[in-house]
Amino acid sequence: MRKVCVMEGDGIGKEVIPEALKVLKELGDFEIIKGDVGLECLKKYGTALPDETIEKAKEADVILFGAITSPKPNEVKNYKSPIITLRRMFDLYANVRPINNFGVGELIGRLNNYEFLKVKDVDLVIIRENTEGLYVGREKILEDDIAISERIITRKGSERIIRFAFEYAKRNNRKKVSCIHKANVLRVSDGLFLKIFNEIKEKYNNIKADDFLVDSTAMNLIKYPEKFDVIVTTNLFGDILSDEASVLIGGLGLAPSANIGGKKALFEPVHGSAPDIAGKGIANPMASILSVAMLFDYMGEKEKGDIIREAVKQCIINKKTTPDLGGNLKTVEVGDEIVRYIRKRI
């Protein structure tokens, strides 16, 4: 039996992941292994990622992760982010974040009161390098008023994420891959990333390739998202751009993601622990449920992933949503509605 290590984490992670598990169990037969993680875990055990949880993650085929609350800077000595630690530990080098509003973007815009949102169809994917860049955590203080962070870009890391993006495009019948960078200023680090992109693109003659500066990309994602199909970029840029792009699909409550390596994968909603609404029962579980759809894609069962995505779409169309999408349902009720639709399909 396939094993899934479930880490709910903090805040709304404890509310949305149970709804994702409903969907997971409805469509597959899995052994669920639960592991503690996050700020509450830190207060309880003295670590945000206990060894016991790590062993459970090693034992599992895949990981389903909720959200964590990070302590404030300097609040905890030698704090290490559990999600970044897991990405490095299992070499989950590819972060895949689909930006898809299921063809109902105009409706989502109205539900969200986004008057500027006129997009009818957004369907792009942001593929972010997940183990390098500024997030390597190499920081130091030279003097009281000088702090330095190292940004690491390697040929190995760049080659594999860029190749992953082109293979993803090929596998999913995507037409174009865009490299996002700031090589006009970061001439050495992003210069290397762009150079490698230009080398690799020559091996994929059937897929269009272009590149954009990250600042112009930030504008074009909102004004002209149709310019993009598959985006490949470095760690920090991918993190920021994918959060920005989520506005096109109704916010982070609809933004799933996958962290993929050579032997293991971790699936998580893009949103955080949202302590301001935790415990109120109004958190949108769709991002975590759509992350389960990506889990099925990864396991070679895309038809099940498509059923989940269609169920989410129908809930949006029929306004069976939480308040962030203009509805009045609770977190649990949205999960129940999605399960109800899935049962009709199977």
Residue whose pair of structure tokens reads 């490698």 in the numeric block:
196
Give the homologous superfamily in CATH for domain 1-96+255-346: Isopropylmalate Dehydrogenase (3.40.718.10)
Measured CA to CA, the distance from residue 224 to residue 242 in angstroms comes to 15
Q: How confident is the model at residue 116 (pLDDT cuts 50, 70, 90)?
A: low
Q: What CATH code would you report for 115-249?
A: 3.40.718.10
Return the pLDDT at 1: 85
Q: What is the structure's pLDDT at 107?
A: 76
Taking the CA of residue 11 as centre, how many other CA atoms within 13 Å lie in the half-sphere pointing to its CB? 20
CA distance 252 to 261: 24
Is the pLDDT score of 86 beyond 90?
yes
Q: How does strand 123-129 pair with strand 230-233?
A: parallel
Quote the tokens at residue 164: 């992953």
Active site amino acids? 135, 182, 215, 239, 243
pTM, 2 dp: 0.94
**In the chain, where the domains are located:** 1-96+255-346, 115-249
What percent of the chain is predicted at pLDDT more than 70? 97
169 φ, ψ to 5°?
-60, -45
CA distance 177 to 173: 11
Domains 1-96+255-346 and 115-249 share a fold: yes
Instruction: Give me the mean pLDDT over the 245-262 stretch.
Output: 93
How would residue 118 be classed by pLDDT, with cut points 50, 70 and 90? low
Q: How confident is the model at residue 199 (pLDDT cuts 50, 70, 90)?
A: very high
Q: Among 333, 337, 343, 342, which residue's Cα sits nearest to residue 315?
A: 337
Supply the pLDDT for residue 72. Answer: 83
Name the β-bridge partners of 152: 133
**Helix, strand, or coil (residue 250):** coil
DSSP summary character for residue 69: P
The phi, psi pair for 147, rounded to 5°, reads -120, 140
